Structure 1
């Protein structure tokens, strides 16, 4: 296990695992496994980069690419992760100080995909992402509690250009 994977495993374990909560420890494993699948599928598509801008649900956002695959509005990868692992998955793009969902299967209360919504600018996850760090823990997403993991997405110059997200609605 490399240093990053070990640090991530410790982070996930510290956020969820406690001797008296084996159910949460299992959920942490599910979250970690789903993140591995999401990152594997995006890596297979190619290196992340930004090319141009577009209007998306009232936001002017950069267009995210994985290799030559345009990600904005394409749900194939996030839906594959959901099909394999359950839960939800999202790819965010950095737009100014915000991170905007450009590919997601997180649903809004009306049942539509939450494309164009932003990562909570006051939440725990974004605080870690802004420091270039991963986050794992419970967060509120559009009014529902989720067990989640977020990791910075970096381009070839090691700049944070987006975020990988996976999560499960907390029962």
Structure 2
């Protein structure tokens, strides 16, 4: 490796490191604001729903926001429920990721929240699931790197889409197995 190519690679790695740090800082900064922004959007959506003529709400949300109707409903529910929580609980929920915040406002705080651990019955399917998911993660990491450095090709987008579809199918299989196991545990209890 020549001195010039080593310097170029070092410079590129320095730039990548700076970009990575910026992304991580942004992710951490915005993660803490996610629920607050969702609550604000929920308030605005609730106000818009009061104004939109009856029967036109779904059309209005679809045409005027980037949200799915169910997400819009979830944001409105989060906004109204968060306002009714005691201050300490509202503050705790506001620091959660949005999905966790939604779970927190829709579940009974006294009910046990932990599901029993999932055990895939046979070792071979478990290894296959893990292998497929790890392969998807490696592919996603490579894809993100190529997007970040601006060297993305159309074929990589298709390949990543296929990989994600396979991962979703794997998750569906795991979920089905978990549901069957949960049903068995409930019947046994």
TM-score normalised over the length of structure 1: 0.23
| Bigger proportion of residues as strand | 1
| Bigger proportion of residues as helix | 2
Whose Rg is larger?
Answer: 2
